[in-house]
Each structure stands twice: as structure tokens, then as C-alpha cells.
Amino acid sequence: MPWGWSSSSLPVSNEAGSAWPRYEAQYLKDALQSDVHKYNTNGLDAVEKQVYLDKVTSLYKQEADELLKTEFEQWLQGRHAANIENEVYENVDGKPVRKWVFRSKAAEDEHGGSKVGQARAGWKHTPWGSASLTHLPGVREYLRGGEQSAIDDDLQMQLLAEFGPQNVEEAFKYFKHWVKGRPLSDAAPLAPKPALEMGQRSDFGRQLPNRMHAYVSDPSDRQPHVYAADHNAETAAVDDAIPSTTTAEDESITQAKGLRAELEASLRDDEARIGDIEQVVEEHNDAVHEAGAQAVRRMAD
């Protein structure tokens, strides 16, 4: 990293400025499998390879930081794999769990029970696709600053190559980069960037992405069979979560639901029959009352 980039160059350094252990570990795993740049172990036997990789991976955390910054900038521009793949967010134990926030028909089960506060399955983290986020305050300035810095640094290196060093400091930089070929980065490269689609960039002013305002996540709930009142409803949409019920308990719940439906149907039938009986009794009472009234009228005559 010859240009001195650090996590503090991110817009929110205390939050997004450094990679987390799982990201660093995944980067190290990918780097060890990449066999490029300094991770190229051609010509080494098993023992030599182990010793070599043990030494060259000492700075993998800084490299993961650099990779995270690169991914973030690609995502802001709509060029990251996440922009293309339109993935559904998976609630894996240990990650932030996406939950239902607002009351709506989509957040209700078939009985009308609200799932607000419970884990939500089916949400997509980047539903706006390849649209950029350059309409957000500060994004253009951040991206422009990084691009301009890279252009300025490259210009200085090209002028150094064109005119040669003018002092001992420039001579060392010249020897280091142009003679010995010090790379711009030792980080393992990313996969090729997906191509931008025409009309997806916000080139003039603070234009909104074409599809962000819709924010459609389909399907919004991949577990419509989970009822809000179920014992394990709060964690039902969390992958790898410890289930709060056993298989036997789940079967018992299913049977109870079926029995409840049968009882409710039977109760509705009973209520209908009771209504019919009450109507017959009421008609009978009316008839008896009318007959008595007629007998009284006859006696009066």
C-alpha cells in the first residue's frame, strides 16, 4: 500500500473503517487459495510453503481493510457483485438478524397475527440493483476525492519515470517502484468488476437511482407458514439457530392446530344449530302468545 491508505480514509472510520475478524479470516482463506502475487508458492515444498505463508500473511489484516474499502466503493457505484446478484439476506446466527419493523399485511400471518419484532426471511439487502448511491450526501465527494488522489499519485509516479529522480528521496522512490517494481497493493485481487448498465449512473446533480424508490423485496416473507403465536416464531427465520421446539413438539403443534380448526368448525355448526332452535322457540312462543290473546278477545266478546 505505497499511497499510505488506512481505514481512517473511509467516511465513517469508527464503524466501516476496519474489517471484522470473520471478514479478515475469509480474506486470508481466499488469499491462501489464490496463488497470486506474494501468495504464489511455486517451487516450494510442503515445509517451505508452510514457513513462507506463515511469514507473508503477517499483514493480512491491513490487506483485508484495503479490500473492504475497495468493495465499499464498488458498491457505492453499483459495480459490486451484491448489486448484480440481488441476494436474499440470510439470518445466520451471529450476524445482525433482520426483523419485521412496521405493521402491514405482509407482516401478518394468515390468522392476522403480527410478526413485528420477529425474525424476517426473504428481505434483500440491495434491491435497487446496479443503481449507484451517488445521490446521497457526501458520496460524490468521497468517491471523487479517492479518484483524484489516485490520479495525482499516478501523475507523480509518471513524472518521476519521465524526467528521472531529482534528489535522493525521489531516487529511492524511483528505484523502489520503477526498478524493483514494488506493486501498488499486495492484497489478493477481487473478482472482475461487473460492467455498468447504461442509464444506471447518476451523472448530473443528485439524481435518484431508477429503482431505489420502489424498494421491492420479493418475496417479502419466505415463511408464511410460521404463525406469529408459534412458540419459536421469533427465531424461525434464523438459519443455524437453536430450535426452541423438538420434532415431536412441532408435530404436536401441527396436530393442535388441526384440532383447533376442527373444533372451531364444529362450534360454528353448533352456533348455527342453536340459532335455528332459538328461532323455532321464538316462533313457537309468538304463536302461543297470539293464541292466548285471541282466546282473551273471544271471552270479552
- Average pLDDT value over all residues in the chain: 77
The yes-or-no verdict on residue 2 having pLDDT over 80 is no
**Alpha carbon distance 116, 203 (integer Å):** 39
Q: Which amino acid is at 258?
A: G
DSSP 8-class letter at 99: B
**Alpha carbon distance 32, 37 (integer Å):** 11
Query: Cα dist. 91→23, 87, 119, 132, 258 in Å?
Result: 17, 12, 8, 25, 30
Cross-strand bridge partners of residue 88: 124
The kind and range of the H/E element at 49 are helix 46-56
Residue whose C-alpha is closest to residue 64's, from 36, 23, 32, 35: 23
C-alpha torsion angle, residues 118, 123, 126, 130 (rounded to 10): -170
Cell of 199: 442509464
With a CB cutoff of 8 Å and minimum separation 6, the contacts of 127 are 86, 211, 214, 215, 216, 217
Q: Which amino acid is at 29?
A: K
Is the bond preceding residue 189 a cis peptide, omega within 30 degrees?
no
Other CB atoms closer than 10 Å to residue 106's CB: what's the count?
A: 15
Which pLDDT does position 268 carry in this prediction? 83
Model confidence band, residue 29 (pLDDT cutoffs 50, 70, 90): confident
Query: Cα dist. 120→88, 115, 127, 132 in Å?
Result: 11, 8, 16, 26
- In the chain, where are the structural domains located? 1-76+130-206, 86-127+216-244, 248-301
* Sole residue written with cell 505505497: 2
**Alpha carbon distance 164, 159 (integer Å):** 8
The yes-or-no verdict on residue 247 having pLDDT over 90 is no
**Alpha carbon distance 266, 259 (integer Å):** 10
Model confidence band, residue 168 (pLDDT cutoffs 50, 70, 90): very high
The yes-or-no verdict on residue 207 having pLDDT over 60 is no
Which pLDDT does position 37 carry in this prediction? 77
Q: What is the mean pLDDT of residues 47-63?
A: 83
Which pLDDT does position 176 carry in this prediction? 85
Among 37-51, 112-126, 199-213, which is the least confidently predicted range? 199-213
Burial class (CB in 10 A: 0-12, 13-18, 19+), 81: middle
Which pLDDT does position 10 carry in this prediction? 59
The yes-or-no verdict on residue 146 having pLDDT over 60 is yes
Model confidence band, residue 3 (pLDDT cutoffs 50, 70, 90): very low
Which pLDDT does position 166 carry in this prediction? 92
Model confidence band, residue 167 (pLDDT cutoffs 50, 70, 90): very high
The yes-or-no verdict on residue 27 having pLDDT over 60 is yes
Q: Which amino acid is at 288?
A: V
Which pLDDT does position 211 carry in this prediction? 53
Cell of 244: 426452541
Among 56-70, 154-168, 216-230, 276-290, which is the least confidently predicted range? 216-230
User: Would you say 44 and 33 are in contact if contact means Cβ atoms under 8 Å apart?
Assistant: no
**Alpha carbon distance 117, 234 (integer Å):** 7
Which comes out higher in pLDDT, residue 219 or 244?
219
Q: What is the mean pLDDT of residues 104-124?
A: 85
The kind and range of the H/E element at 280 are helix 247-300
pLDDT tens, position by position, 180-206: 877 766 666 655 555 445 444 444 455
Which pLDDT does position 171 carry in this prediction? 92
pLDDT tens, position by position, 65-96: 888 888 899 899 998 988 888 788 888 877 88
pLDDT tens, position by position, 211-240: 555 556 666 777 777 888 877 778 888 876
The yes-or-no verdict on residue 244 having pLDDT over 60 is no
